[in-house]
Amino acid sequence: MDTLSSMLIFANLLLLFSTFCNTADTLTLSQSLSDGGTRTLVSKDGSFELGFFSPGSSRNRYVGIWYKNIPIRTVVWVANRKNPINDSSGFLMIDNTGNFVLVSNNNSTVVWSSNLTKAAQSGMGELLDSGNLCLRDEKDADSGIYLWQSFDYPSDTLLPGMKLGWDLRTGLDRRLSAWKSPDDPSPGDFTWGTQLQINP
């Protein structure tokens, strides 16, 4: 009887440990997310999840962020919306320059990148409770300084804390753009944002 109880306790601990190992809110240089793998990023409060998905009836693969606790997957951001992967060979990782990089075909094709102009010494990605995917230098992990953030590159969803319009310091034009269709998250015909008007 004691052996059976010990085995059940061990099995439960193993299950708990494997669940813990497969859900984290950060991605470091030594880690990656693979399409078809069990690991995703989940915000600390459990509201948002980042991973690979296929929208609607499409077979194309994308990296996106969605609400974790809504039964019907509601995607709020897509990394490679203009460049889908047509198989399950994708990997999301942080490269040696500190950039998020999405690669396919055994690391031979870069599908999407965060395109940092200044290399980070040790890049770390984090999915925040707001749904914002951030990239920062590990040495600045608690500073709130982001080298890159998904909130600067919105898809079709405005989340609390997100800003739209021109960032005059960086030159970014942050605007929402509709999906082309429920099966295709590439930018559609409709956008929403602000227009920079220079008066004479």
User: How far apart, in Å, are the Cα atoms of 136 and each of 117, 146, 148?
Assistant: 13, 5, 7
pLDDT surpassing 80 at residue 198: no
**In terms of residues, how long is the chain?**
200
DSSP string, 159-174: PTT---EEETTTTEEE
pLDDT-derived band at 2 (thresholds 50, 70, 90) equals low
Are the beta carbons of 74 and 55 closer than 8 angstroms? no
Structure confidence at residue 4 (pLDDT): 44
The per-residue pLDDT for range 106-130, each reduced to its tens digit, is 778 999 999 887 767 778 899 999 9
d(CA 34, CA 165): 33
pLDDT at 168 over 90: no
In the chain, % of residues over pLDDT 90? 56
DSSP at 151? G
% of the chain surpassing 70 pLDDT: 82
pLDDT for the residue numbered 195: 72
* Domain-wise residue ranges, the chain: 21-154
The pTM of the full predicted model, rounded to 2 decimals, is 0.82
Mean pLDDT (whole number) for 18-33: 74
> Do residues 114 and 99 touch, judged by C-beta distance below 8 A?
yes
Task: Classify 112 as helix, strand or coil.
Answer: strand
Give the pLDDT score at 132: 97
- CATH homologous superfamily of 21-154 equals Bulb-type lectin domain (2.90.10.10)
